[in-house]
Chains A and B, each alone.
Chain A
């Protein structure tokens, strides 16, 4: 019986690429992490985890849930250009944590491919 574990790495990567974070999240970062298939992929087995964690394009959409998630994604995306969407900054209860995460991203020396900030119109928010 054929299984995915026997497929060549390049095919597995092709399959995984459809679950890259930038594909799964359509503009907002407020979805629960559990809805992102790519996180489940790393829990399936050793080979899947090894392949996924060594494929930076899966992870270069940097989420700002909190600093530990942001730090982990910056590490996994390695040298890939990163994409950041900071949404609903003025309303969420986790605003300080998101701003702290955003600061981490802005301090990263890599090329920022895309930065979208929404939801701060009419309010003053300072980024430390």
Chain B
């Protein structure tokens, strides 16, 4: 559950169709963003619905840094007004995100940043961004050896020797 704090109207002006939201990152940075930009996030949309039900607007506290949050806002700003099937809650799930050239450049970041972005996108329920990040991570490990995969993604080998060489653990051919 997100933590919310009350904010006064002077901090978050709320008028017209392009109202502003106040997002607060885990490093306590206050970021004002147009509601319309963040509407791609199901999480944010649900928060806004809650505001309308109570006639009170709040700052939304998010569990990731401003660096990551700004990256997500950049993504949402780029696709502002675009229809992406993955983000349509009424559409059947497309199965996987298509390759989008802009996304590939946008996600040309180191693996730590990529993992932070996908976790933030998952939290914010932005399916199109989760899909693009998943594709980028999948590409990072494609064709790599097991040892290389562990290195790339920081996963420890926690098998016992017996488990590691268990006949049922792999298709030996």
A33 nearest CB neighbor, chain B only:
B173
Q: Does A42 contact B (CB under 8 A)?
A: yes
Q: Measured between C-beta atoms, what is the minimum distance from A2 to chain B in Å?
A: 4
B122 nearest CB neighbor, chain A only:
A11
Q: With the chains together, A3 CA to B112 CA distance in Å?
A: 8
- The B141-173 residues at the A interface (CB cut-off 8 A) are 141-146, 149-150, 153-159, 163-164, 168-173
Interface of A is mostly: helix
| Chain B interface, number of residues (Cβ within 8 angstroms) | 37
Q: Measured between C-beta atoms, what is the minimum distance from B124 to chain A in Å?
A: 13
A39 adjacent to B134 (CB under 8 Å) = no
A41 adjacent to B170 (CB under 8 Å) = no
Q: Mark interface residues in A5-32 (1 if CB within 8 Å of B CB, else 0).
A: 1011011001111110000000000000
B173 adjacent to A43 (CB under 8 Å) = no
A4 adjacent to B134 (CB under 8 Å) = no
Interface core residue of A10, A19, A44 (most chain B CB under 10 Å): A44
Chain A contact residues (Cβ within 8 angstroms of B): what range? 35 or more
- The B100-136 residues at the A interface (CB cut-off 8 A) are 112, 115-116, 118-119, 122, 130-131, 134-135
Instruction: Known contacts A11-B130, A37-B142, A73-B171; decide if A5 and B112 are in contact (CB<8 Å).
Output: no
Q: Does B137 contact A (CB under 8 A)?
A: yes
Q: Does A87 contact B (CB under 8 A)?
A: no
Measuring CB to CB, which residues of chain A are less than 8 angstroms from any residue of chain B?
1-5, 7-8, 10-11, 14-19, 33, 35, 37, 39-49, 63, 65-66, 68-69, 72-73
